[in-house]
Amino acid sequence: MDTMLLSLRGIYKWVNTGINRTFLLKDINLDIGEGEFVSVMGPSGSGKSTLLNVIGMLDDFDEGAYHFMGDAVQGLREKQRAALYKQYIGFVFQAYHLIDELTVYENIETPLLYKGIKTPERKAMVADMLDRFNIVGKKDLFPTQLSGGQQQLVGIARALIGGPKLLLADEPTGNLNSKQGEEIMELFQQLNRDGVTIIQVTHSEKNAEYGSRIIHLLDAHVEKK
Ligand SMILES: Nc1ncnc2c1ncn2[C@@H]1O[C@H](COP(=O)(O)OP(=O)(O)O)[C@@H](O)[C@H]1O
Ligand SMILES: [Mg+2]
């Protein structure tokens, strides 16, 4: 494998309800190398989003070891974890999760504000991204004035603007028609060729095949094929 980006060892996540314990993740062992494009598949409720959220450090886990670029994530303080996330990870959601009160421009700019990047540099970076995604003409519109495909492009631009090493996408084409979905997959393929590691959750075999490896989840664990 290429250089290791992250590894999960014996990861468990659960919720206790009364005397019952429900496992959301069960003994997950996973290595992802830099430059991989991995697809996660599995039935609804099998733990795909939970796994992605754990990898993306948006969710905690209860047991096991998670190493990201050499750092033991379980040993990090909240602040250090947030710093890792900001520096290295971009997240794309099925429902876009754009901020409706902000324009396209402002949505894309948001991560740079959190990173404390100065105005002139910020402007140049956002302009670059608008240009690259062919949405310069949409920059002053609000998310609700865009089609689903355009909203997802904005979501992806926002995820990429910080120059992440790892792009996580949870059913990114789930709300799109097949043509829009294909465009997103081609974009991911290009990003991956440019060196971005990608982990996507998808229900579509066709989309999964854009990646180089498929991980099947079933009942909170990785299914052995
Ligand atoms: N915070 C939570 N509390 C209780 N159950 C949860 C919680 N989060 C997720 N679940 C349950 O865990 C299972 C896995 O959820 P999820 O990761 O969203 O699955 P998927 O993305 O594969 O559809 C589902 O049955 C879901 O209802
Ligand atoms: Mg899900």
Chain mean pLDDT for the chain? 95
**Nearest C-alpha to atom 12 of ligand 1 is from which residue?**
24
Identify which of 16, 49, 50, 221 to mutate to test ligand 1's pocket (most ligand atoms within 8 A of the CB): 50
Residue among 71, 77, 133 at smallest CA distance from 107: 133
Kindly tell me if the per-residue pLDDT of 151 is higher than 90. Answer: yes
**Per-residue model confidence (pLDDT) at position 114:** 86
Q: DSSP states of 64-84 as a string?
A: EEEEETTEEGGGS-HHHHHHH
Kindly tell me if the per-residue pLDDT of 126 is higher than 90. Answer: yes
Distance CA 215, CA 9 (A): 15
Task: Give the Cβ contact number of residue 194 at 10 Å.
Answer: 8
Binning pLDDT at 50, 70 and 90, where does residue 139 land? very high
Residue among 133, 138, 142 at smallest CA distance from 99: 142
Instruction: Evaluate: CB of 46 within 6 angstroms of ligand 1.
Output: yes
Kindly tell me if the per-residue pLDDT of 156 is higher than 70. Answer: yes
What is the three-class DSSP state of 221?
strand
Domain ranges of the chain: 36-59+77-211
pTM value is 0.94
**Nearest C-alpha to atom 20 of ligand 1 is from which residue?**
45
**Nearest C-alpha to atom 27 of ligand 1 is from which residue?**
45
**Per-residue model confidence (pLDDT) at position 137:** 96
Q: What is the pLDDT of residues 50-87, one digit of tens each?
A: 999 999 999 999 999 999 999 999 999 999 999 999 99
What is the three-class DSSP state of 163?
coil
For residue 180, the one-letter residue type is: Q
Q: What is the pLDDT of residues 164-181, one digit of tens each?
A: 999 999 999 998 889 989
Instruction: Evaluate: CB of 43 within 6 angstroms of ligand 1.
Output: no
**Per-residue model confidence (pLDDT) at position 124:** 97
Distance CA 223, CA 151 (A): 33
**Per-residue model confidence (pLDDT) at position 1:** 53
Average pLDDT estimate for 101-130? 95
H helix count then E strand count, the chain: 7, 10
CATH of 36-59+77-211, one of 3.40.50.300, 1.10.10.10, 3.90.190.10, 3.30.160.40: 3.40.50.300
